[in-house]
């Protein structure tokens, strides 16, 4: 267990952010199920209001399925410029308390308030004040988690959504983790949970019984992370610097296809779009990743890394075609293709100046049912 000179970490998560902004700006949408997404073939929801979530509707759900679950669902086309502007207002509030702010997305961030501008002693008081200001100034609600590391702060913020505040004190963390469902652990997705359940791991206490060796044998590097999380350990700092790690684009087809000619045509269009984005953003990387989502929503990736920068169409296209050749789509029609360039060479040249986050599926938990109970805040 980490000891307590411990940092004071807050995780703020805006409640159903895009949908809440729309409900705020359009009173006729308040109190009814709202989904933010385009009402087109293959459309997918970016988020759903809590009224819609009661029907089982959630983010990343196909619009067609959402309408079946909730026939009364009102769809609103996303306005990302507006959401970015509101997000900047939220972050301006954060920076009144600390500049050690690590955004995860437009609607959530970590704050390290161990040293804070107003000199407030208790992190819970800062979290309470921030939530109140978001409500009073922006007419939105946010949930907050407070603890001594990022893992526990993130878990805590999910506990009493929406509009909740949960504190996990160091003295209570061990018992809290013991009873925490493994599906609530940060970084445990559906596949990992399935494997863990077959191992007899259902709550943190079960996970703690497994050795570091065994967990790394089964889960690779993430096994060491789970081993630490089970003991309340997470040494990752809150990183205030914002450095672009990748540039990518993707395309969802109107109809699934396994025709080689069609896929190559789509791939070339993606390369053209990606090279344009790279040029506009002045980004160069050495790793190209192809994402393929099949008709059954199973998703795979293939990557290739070169010793030189990738940014032009001439550099990207032959590599993208080579990656596609590695994919067996003959009997598995493709729904979506995506391309991403990452691994910018500046990161390799200055390893001491950067912090590499573990890649955890932060948003996967949005599809889980809202927790109705939990330990009271200390």
- Tell me which residues are annotated as active site: 108
Rounded to the nearest angstrom, the gap between the alpha carbon of residue 279 and the centroid of all alpha carbons in its chain is: 26
Cis previous bond, 162, omega within 30: yes
The CA distance from 1 to 274, in Å, is: 45
Strand partners, 291: 301, 338
Runs of H (alpha helix) within 95-232:
123-138, 150-159, 170-178, 190-198, 204-208, 212-219, 221-229
Determine contact, residues 266/317, Cβ cutoff 8 Å: no
- CA proximity to 327, closest of 283, 275, 289: 289
**Which are the contacts of 68, defined by CB distance < 8 A and separation ≥ 6?**
none
Q: How many CA atoms lie within 13 A of 60 on its CB side?
A: 7
Runs of H (alpha helix) within the chain:
17-25, 50-53, 63-69, 80-94, 123-138, 150-159, 170-178, 190-198, 204-208, 212-219, 221-229, 260-281, 313-325, 345-349
Give the CA dihedral 191, 55, 365, 220, nearest 10 degrees: 0
Determine contact, residues 215/226, Cβ cutoff 8 Å: yes
């Amino acid at each position: 267990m980490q000891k307590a000179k411990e940092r004071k970490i807050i995780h703020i998560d805006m409640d159903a952010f895009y949908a809440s902004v729309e409900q705020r700006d359009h009173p006729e949408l308040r109190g009814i199920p709202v989904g933010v997404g385009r009402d087109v073939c293959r459309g997918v929801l970016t988020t759903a209001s809590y009224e819609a979530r009661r029907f089982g509707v959630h983010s990343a759900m196909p619009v067609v399925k959402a309408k079946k679950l909730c026939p009364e669902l009102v769809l609103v086309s996303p306005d990302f410029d507006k959401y970015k502007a509101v997000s900047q207002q939220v972050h301006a509030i954060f920076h009144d308390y600390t500049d050690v702010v690590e955004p995860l997305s437009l609607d959530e961030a970590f704050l390290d308030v161990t040293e804070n501008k107003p000199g407030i002693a208790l992190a819970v008081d800062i979290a309470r004040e921030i939530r109140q200001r978001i409500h009073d100034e922006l007419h939105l609600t946010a949930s907050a988690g407070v603890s001594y590391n990022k893992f526990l702060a993130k878990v805590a913020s999910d506990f009493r959504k929406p509009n909740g505040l949960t504190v996990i004190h160091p003295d209570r963390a061990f018992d809290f983790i013991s009873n925490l469902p493994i599906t609530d652990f940060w970084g445990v997705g559906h596949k990992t949970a399935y494997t863990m359940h077959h191992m007899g791991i259902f709550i943190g206490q079960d996970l703690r019984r497994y050795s570091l060796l065994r967990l790394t044998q089964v889960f690779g590097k993430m096994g060491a992370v789970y081993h630490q999380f089970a003991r309340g350990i997470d040494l990752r700092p809150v990183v205030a610097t914002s450095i672009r790690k990748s540039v990518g684009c993707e395309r969802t087809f109107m109809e699934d296809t396994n025709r080689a000619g069609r896929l190559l045509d789509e791939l070339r269009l993606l390369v053209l779009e990606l090279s344009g984005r790279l040029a506009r953003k002045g980004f160069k990387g050495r790793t190209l990743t192809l994402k393929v989502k099949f008709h059954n929503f199973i998703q795979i990736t293939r990557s290739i890394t070169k010793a030189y920068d990738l940014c032009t169409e001439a550099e990207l296209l032959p590599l993208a075609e080579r990656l596609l050749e590695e994919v067996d789509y003959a009997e598995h029609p493709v729904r979506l293709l995506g391309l991403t360039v990452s691994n910018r060479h500046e990161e390799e040249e200055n390893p001491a100046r950067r912090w590499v986050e573990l890649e955890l599926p932060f948003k996967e938990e949005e599809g889980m049912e809202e927790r109705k109970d939990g330990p009271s805040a200390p």
